[in-house]
Structures are given as structure tokens and as C-alpha cells.
Structure 1
Amino acid sequence: MASTTGAVNAEIDGAGMGNAAAQSVLLPRLSIILDITIIIAIAIASAALLIRPLETQQRIIIGASDRGIVAGFHEAEFSETEGRPFRWTMAEASVRLSAQGMSDHLLALRLATRPGVPATAPQPVDIELNDISLATLPVTSAPRIYRLLAPRALIQATDNAATLRTPTTRISDDPRDLGATAFTVTFAALSESSWLAPAQTVAVTGAALALLLDSPVIRHRCTAMAGRCPVHPD
């Protein structure tokens, strides 16, 4: 009976050793495949960023993609004639914008005002960037795009606030004080920054390599190499 039990235990131990050996062979192979896949992905991402940076301009659709970056606007509405969303401004409304480089920028706003305002007597809309006046726009009831130069000296590296100041009025039975209707706001650098693409490439490549070196597979390999790799704290 004892010999039978010993034989069974020996078979179990042999099977366990066989599984362990199989795992020890399979893990390095999977590790190599994973390493090659990550390296190829990093190379593709780096090449793509060098060809075209992540951001070239910021385009905000007022009433659709403006959550958390607008203030002083009424609730979003949908224009049946334009086929797009918009918001009415209050007496003062603002949109937070991100710098797209360290050069002069183009600030483009698609605006209109209440129906019936003719081109001969437009409604003035004052546009400021970071509390500095850029222009007073002659806005009529026909939607159009107004393009303004935002000098580099006014651009902040962090948030930039484009402010619209306008007289308000009321339309028929609408109890709201309405200024102008805003459809889109676009903020774009007029010249590309030569450092942007390399900086983005270095950032993405560094982050990917950090993840690669901190992966469980690499940790296992480092352990097997008996201290030849740096120790990563858990």
C-alpha cells in the first residue's frame, strides 16, 4: 500500500515538475513576443507623431463639445435652418481655450444675432482674449465666421479665455436676456512649433518604455537574471 502511494506521489511530483518546466519555457517565449509587439507599437506611434502632431488646432462646437469650458451662455439649442447646435450668450460669455503653440494664433468665431438685424445696423460684439480687447465685431442675423489675430504676446501657456461682450435684448415671449448666438470657436497657431512633434514623440515613447520596463513579464525576467536589472518597488 505504501509503495502504491509513493508511486502516485512520484507521478504527481513528476507532473508538477513537467508543468513547471513547460511554464518556464513558455514564459520567455511569450515575453519575447510581447516585447516585440510593444517595440513595434512604439515605433509606429513615434513615426506618426513626427509626421503629424497630436494637436494642430482646437475647434469647439458650442452646444455640443463645450462642456466645462464655457460660461455665461444659455442652454444649448438646435438650429433647424443651420442644422447645428448653438447657444445664446448673456451680456458676458467666455470660452476657455488651450494654446496650440508659441506663435500668433487665429481666433475664429461663427456668430449671429437675433433675426431682423440688418448689415447696415449690426449689433456690436466685443471680443477679448485674456482681458485684452481684440476687436468689436459687426454681427448681423446672418451667421458668418469672424477671424481675428491673437498676437503671441497675449497667449498664455495654460488656459486662455476668449470673452464675448454684447448688449442683450428679449425676443417675443422669451424671458431670457439674449446677446448673440455662437456656433463654433476655433483657436489655431498660425505657424507650427518645430519642437512640438519631437516633444510629443519623446513623451509617448518614454511613457511606453516605462510601462514596458514595469510590466510583470519584465519583472520576472529581472528576477531570473539574479539582480542584473534595477529593483522596482511594489
Structure 2
Amino acid sequence: MSSSLIEGAEPVLLSPALIVEDDPAMQERLRHVLSTLGCGEDRIAVTNSVAGAQHLLGERAYGVMLVDIGLPDGSGVELIGWMQTHHPRVPAVVISAWRTEEIIFAALRAGAIGYLLKERDDLELSIALRSIEQGGAPIDPTIARRILAWLATTQTQAAAPQPAEETAPGTEAATDEADARQTALPNALTRRENRILELVSQGLSNREMAESLSISRLTVECHTKNIYRKLAVNSRTEAVFQARRHGLLR
């Protein structure tokens, strides 16, 4: 896990901390990570909603807020934007499974000082969060590469001459062919992989899927890796999105 240091950025206190996350298992993970960084149990507040976070922020000053994007009553992005108006001195770090450019840039524009992925292990999250105590801006390496690729593409497009408005003969057919290739069905999933993908879309954890299917957790993880490989994705969110796009899920 790497972090980008911003010149002149102020250090961030990791205690007291506010966790805004609706998944109980992830809540416990973040509690544990914060405890390894010296944040005592009595210095950690947890809520599962935007409304709950707004209430807690009004009661106490926090050193940092760790927030998910998808919450039952709203978006973590909206919460971060609201904080910029009402609690601008409380920095927010996104820890989420969402990794689309639209969401990432929306969170950063709203005021998030970092963006981390839930799929990273506890040690990686701990190292990233530790960096903000020295003024760092923790960005998951995968996210950082996406940002750099987006910047490079944007600069290239800006420098390239604008194409003529008239459509060249055969362009529409070529575009249709490219779209067909883009949406081509990926490598077929096995019946078991399809079932696991359905459970993933329902939000079940690996442990819950193992219990539901009467198989080991390691077997679930192996099937999940195969699904990622076949769909050319790196996360549960992307797997569900691509599966629905290809008609593998309703």
C-alpha cells in the first residue's frame, strides 16, 4: 500500500475516529485496524448511516472519519460534501469496494483525503492510515494507476486535433463491431461459479457463502478468484457489474 504526500498538508489524528460503515464484519475490521494504530476502543465511534454520522459529528470532535460509499440512507460522497460545510476540519478517508472513476473522482472532489479498497488486508489498510498522521493522502495503488491513466488519456485527447464532424464511410459499422467485441460474453462460468456470483450479488460474505453451499471457505475463495479471472475484474462490485452487463445476473 502506498501513499502520496502532499506538500504542506497537515498531519491527521487517528483518534478519536468515526467509522461510517453498514457491514458489521467491516466495522469490526476497521475497529481492529484502528486499535493497532493506538486508537482505544473508547475513542472509536461507529454508525451505519449518513444520518447517524451527522448526529455523532454534532456531538463530538473527531480526528478522522472512515466512510463507505454505499450507505442505507445515502451516499458517502454526499456525507463528505456535507462535512465540508459543517465540519471542515474533520478529514474523511473512503474505504469502499466501489472503484469506478466516477465514484472515485466524486469522492475526491467532495473533499476526501484518501481512497482505499476494502479488499486490501488489515496490514495494508493500517500502513495507509498511518501515513496520514504525517500528512499523507493514502490512495490505493490500483486507484492511483486509474487516476494516472485517466490523466494521461485526458492530456492526449486535449493535444490531439479534433476530428471532422462528417462521419467517414464504414465508421458506423466499425463502431458497431467494436461494441460487439466489448460486450462479448466472457469465458463461461461453471454452475458453481454462477451460484457463488449470485450470492456475491446478494452481499454474502465468504463465510456465509461457505455455510450456504456446505463447502469450505477456501473453496469459495478459489471459485471467487476464478470468477474474477474470467470476468477480468478485481473486486466484487466489478464482478457483479460485469455479470449483469453480460446477462449472467438479472
What TM-score do the two structures reach when normalised by structure 1? 0.21
Which structure exhibits the higher relative contact order, with contacts defined as CA atoms closer than 8 Å and separated by 6 or more residues?
1
More helix by share: 2
More strand by share: 1
What TM-score do the two structures reach when normalised by structure 2? 0.20
